[in-house]
Structure 1
Amino acid sequence: MSPKKSQLVAVATDLFSRHGFHPIGVDRILAEAGVARMTLYNHFPGKDDLISAVLDRRYHDIMASLRACVEPTSSAKEQLRGIFAWHEAWFTTPDFSGCLFERALAEFGTDYPKISDVAIRYKKNMMAWMGDMLKTLLPEHAATRVASLLLILLDGATIDARAFHDPTIATRAWGVAEAIIEQEIALTSTNSVRR
């Protein structure tokens, strides 16, 4: 990515994170980035393309950060705990302002696939990744179901952390997640004994 394109994406990311997508116009992004309008349109045909690039960059940054944080040699439960711990650390950062993917879906819905597809890809890949971890503990159907519940817990924790300025919500969400996992393990063991 060229320096000017990176600068535009970085400035737009900050503005969209703090204020939302619709309230921030191209003129504000250009003013804060110190970039000419023609430079913007050389890199992005329209604002939707810039939003898509912002979300794509955020997607890659988050996934790389999460994967680096989660020790691959740890147990599945420790890896999952690491994902919740990563969220808690994120919630304590000064620039934390909620989930950009959630904001994109809230503002655009699914009528703008150029924008919503990145947000949905993030959710699907997070769920699949956690599901893969859970498959070492649970049958595939149970792992998939529990992974979807863990994603719901992470989404809720992110919203509450922003609303209440309480990063410890991630630890409490992990407590619920762990209880769900343990309950599913117990159910699986009970069902396998009955067979």
Structure 2
Amino acid sequence: MKTVEQETLEGRVLDAAEGLFYGRGLQAVGMDTIRAASGVSLKRLYQIFASKDSLVEAYLCRRDERWRASLERFADERPAGSERVLAVFDWLHRWFREPDFRGCAFVNSYGELGAAHPGVAAAARSHKDAFRRYLAGLVAGAGAPDALTGQILLLAEGAITTAAISGSPEPALHAREAARVLLASNRPADREN
């Protein structure tokens, strides 16, 4: 069991790592930079995270939990049905407008290290699988066919990538409109005719 001090130090290290890894990239940031940003001695840093690899994996795990929890809280505030699916794109639009937005941390990390780092690849796959499962639940709640999940997922993922490259939050709105059209054309009443 971790002490309060251990949890506090771990949190400081992860906060520093998240800002640096997401902002600069995994390979550009060394443990000494994280030490300086967190204010945790290098010896203590290596006691908490035995290697940079273990720190990268912990950063991705925490980012996944926070990202999905934020999205789910936002969507759950909307009425059940199609509005919750569309809320995903509203949340993305809000995220894309944040000053430190640099795209998907999992795609970025996989692009840097995925093929050479099984932990990063596993974290990226796990995040994308969880996002897909979440969207599948929203699509089912909207009464749309399960096949729509993959299309909605591609719209969201495409919006994330396009927004990161273009520097504009607008791809979320374009993807939202496409999702709205897909949902409207796949209403249960429309499929019965």
TM-score normalised by the chain length of structure 2: 0.88
Gapped regions of structure 2 (runs ≥ 5): 1-5
- How many corresponding residue pairs? 187
Deviation sequence 1:45-81 (CA, Å, 0-9, x none): 1111101111111111111111111126613210011
Question: What does 1:23-172 correspond to in 2, within 5 Å?
Answer: 23-71=28-76, 74-136=79-141, 137-138=143-144, 142-143=145-146, 145-172=147-174
SS in 2 for 1:24: coil
Gapped regions of structure 1 (runs ≥ 5): none
Distance in 1, Cα, partners of 2:115 & 2:132: 19
Distance in 2, Cα, partners of 1:161 & 1:180: 21
Structure 1 ranges of 4+ moved more than 6 A: none
Distance in 1, Cα, partners of 2:174 & 2:12: 37
Alignment counterpart, residue 25 of structure 2, candidates 11, 20, 23? 20
SS in 2 for 1:70: helix
Offset of 1:123 from its aligned partner?
1.0
AA aligned to 1:67 is E
Deviation sequence 1:3-53 (CA, Å, 0-9, x none): 111111111111111111111111211122222111111111111110111
**Root-mean-square deviation (Å):** 1.9
Distance in 2, Cα, partners of 1:46 & 1:154: 33
Distance in 1, Cα, partners of 2:158 & 2:78: 28
Distance in 2, Cα, partners of 1:18 & 1:62: 16
Distance in 2, Cα, partners of 1:36 & 1:120: 33
